[in-house]
């Protein structure tokens, strides 16, 4: 069994100069392809269940799916709750077998975010699993605007919460389909100068691949969350499979054809983070 915690995979990444992919899952087909990609690249992978995934499949089911894949994998696999918004939701994920909790209090005032994140950290560490928090706010393409992370607030957040990883807002946005622009490297350097907690980039799909590779190798960014890029690969593969035969109706045979394209797309993501 190669089920591990977030800390188990991020500390070696921090020390050795690479990053780990936090791959956003929506169902069995993509999570299975992600583990196959990690095995092909011989690297760890973080399977992430975000709000959209949880709205479709209950947390106890997702926990069993993640753990089943981890038990058969030849590489380390983290079962990670992405964007947990309440204590109860995080507690349910812990009870469902997740090995990492991400509490998102980034919309709250700093003191409230720290206090609530600390409670999740204490719960996670009490069960020997990991916790990720977020300081600053990572917005959404075409939606809520971002609020950049203040380096001094980041240092306080890291010290007072005890998080194992810290998501930051440095020009990244969720759901970005192109790779225009990039991250604010001076802000990253300023944050890194004030804390040695592993840093996390949400909305990694919108970050140019060369910048991902560079930052993975040269900064304390140890985790890139990738969702939109891989969902686009899945959508195209599914569209191709359906359009290839208008008379097909068996979803199992159709969904099988998404595996290889999604696995190859995930391999590319993981390869560029290995340093």
Closest CA to 135 of 212, 207, 199: 199
What are the pLDDT digits (tens) for 186-213? Answer: 999 999 999 999 999 998 888 999 999 9
CB 272 within 8 A of CB 213: yes
Strands (E) across the chain are located at 3-4, 20-25, 45-49, 77-84, 100-103, 130-135, 165-168, 199-201, 221-226
Measured CA to CA, the distance from residue 122 to residue 212 in angstroms comes to 31
**pLDDT value of residue 4:** 98
* Confidence check: pLDDT of 181 > 80: no
Q: Based on C-alpha coordinates, what's the Rg of the chain?
A: 18
Catalytic residue among 82, 104, 150, 164: 82
Residue 51 parent element (H or E): helix 51-56
Highest CATH level, class, for 3-269: alpha beta
What pTM, to 2 d.p., does this model score?
A: 0.96
* Residue matched to tokens 């590319």: 268
Q: What is the tens place of the pLDDT at every residue in 32-55?
A: 999 999 999 999 999 999 999 999
Domain range list for the chain: 3-269
Decide: 216 and 19 in contact? Cβ < 8 Å.
yes
> Is 82 designated active site?
yes
Per-residue pLDDT band for 19 (boundaries 50, 70, 90) equals very high
Chain-centroid distance, C-alpha 159: 22
Burial 62-94 (b: 16+ CB within 10 A, else e): bbebbbebbeebebbbbbbbbbbeeeebbbbbb
């Amino acid at each position: 069994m190669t089920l591990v915690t977030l800390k188990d995979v991020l500390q070696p990444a921090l020390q050795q100069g690479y990053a780990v992919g936090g791959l956003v899952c929506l169902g069995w087909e993509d999570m299975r392809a992600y583990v196959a990609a990690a095995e092909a690249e011989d690297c760890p992978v973080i399977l992430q269940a975000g709000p959209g995934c949880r709205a479709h499949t209950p947390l106890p089911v997702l926990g069993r799916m993640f753990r089943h894949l981890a038990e058969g994998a030849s590489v380390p696999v983290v079962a990670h709750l992405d964007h947990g918004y309440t204590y109860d939701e995080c507690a349910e994920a812990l009870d469902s077998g997740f090995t990492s909790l991400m509490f998102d209090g980034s919309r709250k005032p700093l003191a409230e975010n720290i206090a609530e994140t600390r409670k999740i950290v204490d719960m996670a560490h009490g069960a020997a699993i990991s916790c990720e928090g977020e300081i600053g706010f990572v917005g959404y393409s075409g939606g809520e605007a971002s609020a950049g992370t203040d380096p001094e607030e980041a240092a306080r957040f890291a010290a007072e919460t005890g998080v194992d990883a810290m998501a930051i807002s440095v020009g990244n946005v969720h759901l970005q389909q192109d790779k225009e622009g990039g991250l604010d490297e001076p802000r990253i350097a300023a944050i890194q100068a004030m804390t040695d907690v592993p840093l996390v980039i949400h909305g990694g799909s919108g970050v140019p691949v060369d910048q991902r590779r560079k930052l993975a190798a040269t900064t304390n960014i140890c985790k890139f969350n990738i969702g939109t890029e891989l969902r686009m690969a899945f959508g195209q593969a599914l569209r191709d499979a359906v359009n290839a035969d208008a008379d097909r109706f068996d979803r199992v045979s159709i969904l099988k054809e998404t595996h290889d394209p999604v696995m190859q797309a995930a391999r590319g993501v993981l390869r560029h983070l290995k340093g």
